Amino acid sequence: MAVCEIWDVRGRLDHPIDYAKNPDKTANPKYTEADLQALGDVMKYATNGDKTEKQFFVTGVNCDTATARDEMLIAKAQWNDESEIVCYHGFQSFKSGELTPEQAHEVGVKLAEKMWGDRFQVIVATHLNTDCLHNHFVVNSVSFTDGKHYHDNKANLRLLRQRSDELCREYALSVIEHPSGRKKPYALYQAEKQGLPTRDNVARQAVDEAISKSFTLKDFDRLMAEMGYKCSFDPNRKYWTIIGRGWKRPKRLYKLGEDYTNERIMERIRENSYAVKFNRFTEPTKQVKAYRLKGSLSGARKIGGLRGLYLHYCYKLGILPKGRKQNYAKLHYILRDDLMKMDAITKETRLLCRCHIDTAEQLLSYQGSLETEKNELTEQRKELYSQSRKLSGEEKEAVKAQISDISKRLGEIRKEVRLCEGIAARSGTLKEKLQTVRADEQEIKRKELMKNEHRRRCGGTNREDELRGI
Whole-angstrom distance, CA of residue 310 vs CA of residue 308: 6
Report the alpha-carbon distance of residue 69 to residue 17 in Å, rounded.
7
**CA 138 to CA 331: how far, in whole Å?**
48
Among residues 114, 125, 97, 104, the alpha carbon closest in space to that of 166 is found at: 114
Q: Give the pLDDT score at 340.
A: 80
CA distance 340 to 346: 11
DSSP string, 287-333: PPP-----S-STT-----HHHHHHHHHHHHHT-SSTTPPP-GGGS-H
Q: What CA–CA distance (Å, rounded) separates 122 from 113?
A: 9
Q: How far apart are CA 434 and CA 442, in angstroms?
A: 12
For the question of whether the overall pTM of this predicted structure is more than 0.85, the answer is no
The CATH 3.30.930.30 domain(s) of the chain lie at: 3-170
The rounded distance, in Å, linking the Cα atoms of 229 and 411 is 43
CA–CA separation, 17 and 68 (whole Å): 8
Sheet strands side by side (includes 229-232): 229-232, 241-244, 251-252
Reading the chain (470 residues) residue by residue, the pLDDT tens digits are 466 777 777 766 666 666 665 655 555 444 344 433 433 343 333 223 333 233 468 899 999 988 888 888 898 889 988 888 888 988 888 888 888 889 999 999 999 999 999 999 999 998 887 778 889 899 999 999 999 999 888 888 889 989 999 998 898 888 876 555 555 665 666 666 666 778 888 899 899 999 999 989 999 999 999 888 999 998 888 899 999 988 889 999 999 988 999 999 999 998 885 545 444 555 566 666 665 656 654 555 678 899 999 999 998 888 888 777 777 877 888 888 888 888 899 999 999 999 999 999 999 999 999 999 999 999 999 999 999 888 888 999 999 999 999 999 999 999 999 999 999 999 999 999 999 999 988 998 898 898 888 888 886 444 444 444 43
Per-residue pLDDT, 191: 66
Cα–Cα dist 113/152, whole Å: 17
* Domain 3-170, second-level architecture: 2-Layer Sandwich (3.30)
Cβ density class 291-307: b for 16+ within 10 Å, e for less: eeeeeeeeeeeebebbb
User: What letter does residue 60 receive in the DSSP assignment?
Assistant: E
Whether the CB-CB separation of 93 and 132 falls below 8 Å is answered with yes
Q: Are strands 3-10 and 85-93 parallel, antiparallel or unpaired?
A: antiparallel
Q: Give pLDDT tens digits for 289-314.
A: 665 656 654 555 678 899 999 999 99
Q: In Å, how far are 453, 454, 464 from 460, measured between CA atoms? A: 13, 12, 12
Residues in the chain: 470
User: Residues with Cβ < 8 Å from 379, sequence gap 6 or more?
Assistant: none
Task: Encode pLDDT of 229-273 as tens digits.
Answer: 999 998 888 899 999 988 889 999 999 988 999 999 999 998 885
Total Cβ atoms within 10 A of residue 237: 11
Q: Give one DSSP letter per residue of 385-429, joined into a string.
A: HHHHTT--HHHHHHHHHHHHHHHHHHHHHHHHHHHHHHHHHHHHH
**Spatial contact of 389 and 367, defined as CB atoms under 8 Å apart:** no
State the burial class of residue 434 (Cβ atoms within 10 Å of its Cβ: 0-12, 13-18, 19+). Answer: middle
Q: What is the pLDDT of residue 288?
A: 65
Per DSSP, the three-state class of 176 is coil
Average pLDDT across the chain, whole number: 81
Helix (H, G, I), strand (E, B) or coil at 232: strand
Check: CB of residue 397 under 8 Å from CB of residue 319.
Answer: no
